Structure 1
Amino acid sequence: MWNRAETEINMTLIRHGATKANLEHRYLGKTEEALSEEGKEELQMRKDNGMYATPNHLFVSPMLRCRETATILFPNLPFQCIPEWTEMDFGLFEGKNYKDLNGNPEYQAWIDSGGMLPFPKGESREAFQKRVVFGFFRMLSCLEKEKASEKDKITAVVHGGTIMALLSALSGGEYFDYQVKCSDGYRCRLRCSDKIISILELEKLC
C-alpha cells in the first residue's frame, strides 16, 4: 500500500483506441478484441498532434486493446498491467448493441434503472468500482516501490468504464459524467494517502 502520509500525483487517464465493436456501439467488456485500423489511425494522428505527453510511469489494463494502445502511443516505454482495471463484465449484454437488445425486458429494466442494476449474469457497478479503486491502490504500491517522485508523470491506458468507475468513486460524482470517447481521456492532479484519494484538478485531454 501507499506508505507516505500524503502526496500528490499527476496522472493521465486514456481510454484505448477504437475496436470494431466500439465502432458498432456494442458492449465490449471481457471479450478480447484488437484495435481496428480506424482506431490505430486516430491514435497515431492524435499522438502526432501532441495530445499524449510521454510519462515517467505507464500502467495499463491487461486487455489486448489497451496494451496495443500503449504500444502505439509509447513504443519505447515499458508498462505494468493492473489486473483490476479490466473492463466491466457486461454479462448477457456482451457483444450486443442497443439494436440487438431492443425489446429485451432485462435490457429495458437496466435502462429504466439509469444503469444502476447489475448486468444480467454480469457485474454490478458497485463491485466494479470497488475492484477499480483496489487497482488504483495497487498502482500506488508499484509507484512506492519505484520511489516515484511527486513531479513524475503517470499515465494509465484503460477502458471507458474503468475511467468512469475510478473518477466517480474518487469524486462522489455521477458515473456517466466521466464518459469519454475512445482515444480521449482526462488529466488530473490527485492527493493520495494510504486510505483516501481526492481529486484536486481535472480536465479533459481534448
Structure 2
Amino acid sequence: MNAPASEENAGQTELWLIRHGETQWSLSRQHTGRTDIPLTERGREQARLLAPILAQARFDRALTSPMARAIETCHLAGLGEHAEVEPELREWDYGIYEGRTTAEIREKEPGWSIWDSPIPEGESIGEIEARARKLVERLAATRGRIALFSHAHFLRILAGCWIGDSAALGAHLLLDTATISILGFERETRAIRQWNVRHPDIG
C-alpha cells in the first residue's frame, strides 16, 4: 500500500492514521482509554508487518500517543527513531466505563452508546471533538506527510473532524487494530483517501 500525494495536491497535509496493534482489551472489546495496557505478542507481530508498508513512504514527521501500546507499535513499525510524543493523540477518557465492554454497560443502561450517552468522570463527545479539531487545525497548518500512531476511537473522531468538523461522524468509520488510513485532499476539499487497510497476513 502506498498512496503518495498527487502532483496537484503537493504541499498539502497528508495524515497517515495508524492504530496500534492488538492488546488483550482490544481483543475482549473492553474500553481502553487511560489504562496503559501492552500489546499482545500477536499485536507486536501486527506492528512489525506495518514496517515494509510504511517504509515505502517518506514521512516529514511521526507523532505517537503517549500510551505504551501506541509507542511500541510506532517503534516496531519502523518509525520510532524520530517520533515525537503528542499528548493530544491519547485515547478517549472513558471515565467510569474504563475496562468495561458496551455489552456489560448495557446490562444496566439499555441502549447506551459511546457516541451519544453521558460519560461520567470522563470526556464528553464535545470535549474530545474540541481536542481533535484543535489537533487537525495544527497539523493542517504544518503541511507534509505525517504518521499518527493512536487509538481506535480517537482516530475515528479525528477523521470525522477532518472531513466534516464532527466527532459524531466517527461512529460510521470502523477501525481495526494495526491498520493504516490516509486523510488528505481532493483539490481543496479534505477527504479520506484510504481507510482501515491492513497487511494481508494480519487476517
Q: TM-score if structure 1 supplies the norm length? A: 0.77
The aligned residue for residue 157 of structure 2 is 165
Separation in structure 2 between the aligned mates of residue 117 and residue 96 of structure 1, nearest angstrom: 15
Aligned residues of 1:13 and 1:158 also touching (Cα < 8 A): yes
Alignment of 1:31-110 (within 5 A): 31-48=35-52, 50=53, 53-54=56-57, 55-75=59-79, 77-105=81-109, 108-110=110-112
Counterpart residue number, 2:147? 155
2:184 is paired with a residue whose SS is: strand
The C-alpha deviation readout for 1:7-41, integer Å capped at 9, x for no partner, is 61122111111111111110001111111111011
Asked if the contact 1:84/1:134 (under 8 Å) is kept, the reply is no
Quick check: 1:203 aligned with 2:194? yes
Deviation, structure 1 residue 198: 4.7
Which whole-Å CA distance do the structure 1 matches of 2:136 and 2:85 have between them? Answer: 11
What is the distance in 1 between the residues matched to 2:47 and 2:130?
A: 30
Matched with 1:194 is: none
Query: Which residue in the other structure is 1:17 paired with?
Result: 21
Structure-2 separation of matches of 1:12 and 1:87: 17
Q: Matches of residues 103-182 of structure 1 in structure 2 within 5 Å?
A: 103-105=107-109, 108-111=110-113, 115-139=115-139, 143=142, 152-172=144-164, 174-182=169-177
User: How do 1:181-200 residues align onto structure 2 when only pairs under 5 Å count?
Assistant: 181-190=176-185, 198-200=189-191
Among 22, 25, 32, which residue is 1:28 paired with?
32
- Superposition deviation, residue 102 in structure 1: 4.4
2:15 and 2:146 in contact (8 A); partners too: yes
Distance 2:79 2:179 in 1: 19
Aligned in 2, Cα 1:92/1:198: closer, same or farther, shift over 3 Å?
A: farther
The whole-number CA distance in structure 1 between the counterparts of 2:190 and 2:157 is 14
Report the residue type matching 2:190 in the other structure: I
In 2: Cα distance, 1:119 partner to 1:167 partner: 21
Residues 52 and 14 (structure 1), Cα distance of their counterparts in 2 relative to 1, 3 Å cut? farther
Residues 102 and 112 of structure 2 are in contact (CA less than 8 Å); yes or no, is this contact kept in structure 1?
no
Segment drifting more, 20-29 vs 36-45: 36-45
Further displaced range: 50-59 or 162-171: 50-59
Code of the residue aligned with 2:124 in structure 1: it is S
Residue 153 of structure 1: how far off its partner (Å): 2.5
Give the TM-score, by structure 2 length.
0.78
Deviation at 1:188, TM superposition (A): 2.1
Higher relative contact order (CA 8 A, sep 6+): 1
What's the CA shift string for 1:144-177, capped at 9, x where partnerless? xxxxxx5x42211111112111111222262212
How many residue pairs are counted as aligned between the two chains? 183
